[in-house]
Structure 1
Amino acid sequence: MDKRMILHEKKKTSLSDKIFIVLNTVFMILFVVITLYPVLNTLVLAFNNGTDSLRGGLYLWPRKWTLKNFNTVLHKNNLLIGAYITVLRTVFGTLTALAANALLAYIVSRKRFLFKKELSLFWVITMYVNGGMIPTFLLYKGLGLTNSFMVYIIPGMIGAFYMLVIRTYMGGIPDSLEESAQLDGAGEMTIFIRIISPLCKPVYATVALFIAVGHWNSWFDAMLYNRMSTSLTTLQYELMKLLSSVMNQSTSIQAMKDSATAVTPTSVRAAATILTMLPIVSLYPFLQRYFVAGLTIGGVKE
């Protein structure tokens, strides 16, 4: 009897596992479709004729192939300069911000550091309260940051959220590693660079990607602080101006039909979206394996 009951339980468990696998597979397929469809639809709009797109009915394949949307974006004045400045600020800004946040997080994560809880609370408050746009602009102008490349770098060097994530991750590293290094005569910078930082690669990679995405997508600071300097424009700001100019053009269907080079704001926006997302999306496969170890550990432990 006992053996029969055990076999019966195994069959029940096996059946429930199969049902779970089927339902989980269906759910994940639907989730992937829902996630990828907006990107695929944007890609279709980018390669489809702008006038034809107004008819609707485009889903996963272009109806009238064209490269005019991409030509409109790529022939924008100052686009190459904006791309160069954007790449430069993304690389330089990410490295400096990661170094600054990591160093500050290491200091605050040390148990012997006084007032670390009070300072952490102060940094949390800065995540929700700021001085406002006009006082910030006047401050940057007084510091000589307007009409300069450093306005992209210096204000974003310290981010309270990134610092707290790194600090929490460092707090989970055993103190015995630091103590053994101190017994061997290692100083604070040696411990930070050679002991702590190699163990923090997951959270460093995660935070670096978030910072890089922020720099790459930023355009408002270029409009606000470097509006008069074409040599310091950014790619996103130039694309924003392009979309604004297209939106201001006549949107008459007949006028667009009569024009051989007519494009619509929707098609141009789709092409601009595809062009700007490719560099960042290409980084995800290389950094994805760090996400779970980086944010989960850094966000759960105290």
Structure 2
Amino acid sequence: MNKKKRKKISGADLAFRIFNTIFMIAFVVITLYPVLNTLAISLNDGTDALRGGIYLWPRVFTWKNYTTVLQKDNLITGAFITVARTIIGTFLALVSNAILAFIVSRKDFIFAKQVSLFWVITMYVNGGLIPTFLLYKSLGLTNSFAVYVIPGMISAFNMLVIRTYMKGIPDSLEESAQLDGAGYTTIFLKIISPLCKPVYATVALFVAVGQWNSWFDAMLYNRMSDDLTTLQYELMKLLSSVTNQSSSAESMKNSNGSVTPTSVRAAATIITMLPIICIYPFLQKYFVTGLTLGGVKE
């Protein structure tokens, strides 16, 4: 029987592997510690947490911080609106940016450079908060759900990311489809889009995280309508109310324990980030591929 020859590892390669392993372990610990520490504080009694010394495990376990957050008025409505704006806003933004990127990435589009330059300028220059508010008000977007999804349909950054990826697709695929009589709509839907799944997933994750975490637009445009509130805006108001009630934890005690602004903030942080953490593992493969392959040129 022929024995497989083992490849000899030089001292430099062995040292690099050891250093790389230690570095990656340290990096993982540094990355996960803030999340685990926040989780431990959110599950710990508020008054006891003020003593410090909580690292990865709660010292006095309690669900009071979470019940305080979940009992907030309009929280269910806010969660529903946030989920709706995340799904609808992500879909509309992905479709609009993909169509625009496809148009700009075509070589026979004579205004490709001018349009791309126009969108790049919008990344650095905007009209300001007050003119934007007056514009949205004149368009009837204030006090409506549309203000959550329509202004974010087009993003210069997302469009450029998709356009760069599309330019990396061989032109021969489009040319062969045109020889078979396919139009631009067919090429976009049946050839380009299936190949752009990685970058689509990347942009979708960008938009979804932004929609999920957004609260300033709810405060600015829909603060007078409780039916259009968002989860993040309600959590922000909860943190403000808890902080303003008292700086002393004694005034917030009850039979189930006590809460403090720090413990409530930790619980709100976990509730906010939990959905994104659950979604990200399913998109990680496409996310990494979409960011790396978009810059590859043959």
| TM range, smaller chain | over 0.9
CA distance, structure 2, for counterparts of residue 181 and residue 12 of structure 1:
50
Residue type of the partner of 2:131?
A: P
CA distance, structure 2, for counterparts of residue 106 and residue 251 of structure 1:
55
What is the match of residue 221 of structure 1?
217
Give aligned-pair identity as a percent: 75
CA distance, structure 2, for counterparts of residue 96 and residue 11 of structure 1:
53
1:181 corresponds to which of 171, 174, 177: 177
Give me the TM-score of the superposition, normalised by structure 2.
Answer: 0.95
Alignment of 1:221-300 (within 5 A): 221-256=217-252, 262-299=258-295
1:292 Cα deviation (Å)? Answer: 2.4
Q: Deviations over 1:13-40 (max 9, x none)?
A: 5221111111111100000000000000
Alignment of 1:98-109 (within 5 A): 98-109=94-105
What is the match of residue 124 of structure 2?
128
SS of equivalent residue, structure 2 residue 199 = helix
CA distance, structure 2, for counterparts of residue 257 and residue 265 of structure 1:
13
Q: Is 1:97 equivalent to 2:93 in the alignment? A: yes
Q: Is 1:209 equivalent to 2:205 in the alignment? A: yes
CA distance, structure 2, for counterparts of residue 253 and residue 247 of structure 1:
10
1:261 Cα deviation (Å)? Answer: 5.1
What is the match of residue 3 of structure 2?
none
What is the match of residue 158 of structure 2?
162
CA distance, structure 2, for counterparts of residue 133 and residue 253 of structure 1:
38
1:117 corresponds to which of 95, 113, 117: 113
Give me the TM-score of the superposition, normalised by structure 1.
Answer: 0.93
Q: Is 1:19 equivalent to 2:26 in the alignment? A: no
1:255 Cα deviation (Å)? Answer: 3.6
CA distance, structure 1, for counterparts of residue 268 and residue 165 of structure 2:
37
Q: Deviations over 1:111-164 (max 9, x none)?
A: 010121121111111111110000000000000000000000100000000000
CA distance, structure 2, for counterparts of residue 75 and residue 258 of structure 1:
15
1:145 corresponds to which of 131, 136, 141: 141
What is the match of residue 6 of structure 1?
none
What is the match of residue 5 of structure 1?
none
CA distance, structure 1, for counterparts of residue 270 and residue 173 of structure 2:
46
Taking a change above 3 Å as real, the CA distance of residues 133 and 193 of structure 1, as seen in their structure-2 partners, is: same
SS of equivalent residue, structure 1 residue 283 = helix
What is the match of residue 171 of structure 1?
167
CA distance, structure 1, for counterparts of residue 164 and residue 249 of structure 2:
56
CA distance, structure 1, for counterparts of residue 21 and residue 262 of structure 2:
34
Q: Is 1:35 equivalent to 2:31 in the alignment? A: yes
Structure with the larger helix share: 1
RMSD after superposition: 1.7
1:68 corresponds to which of 64, 71, 83: 64
Residue 165 of structure 1 contacts residue 299 of structure 1 at CA under 8 Å; is this kept in 2?
Answer: no
SS of equivalent residue, structure 1 residue 155 = coil
1:260 Cα deviation (Å)? Answer: 5.7
What is the match of residue 3 of structure 1?
none
Residue type of the partner of 2:229?
A: T
SS of equivalent residue, structure 1 residue 243 = helix
1:218 Cα deviation (Å)? Answer: 0.3
Taking a change above 3 Å as real, the CA distance of residues 48 and 194 of structure 1, as seen in their structure-2 partners, is: same
Structure 1 stretch displaced more, 287-296 or 192-201: 287-296
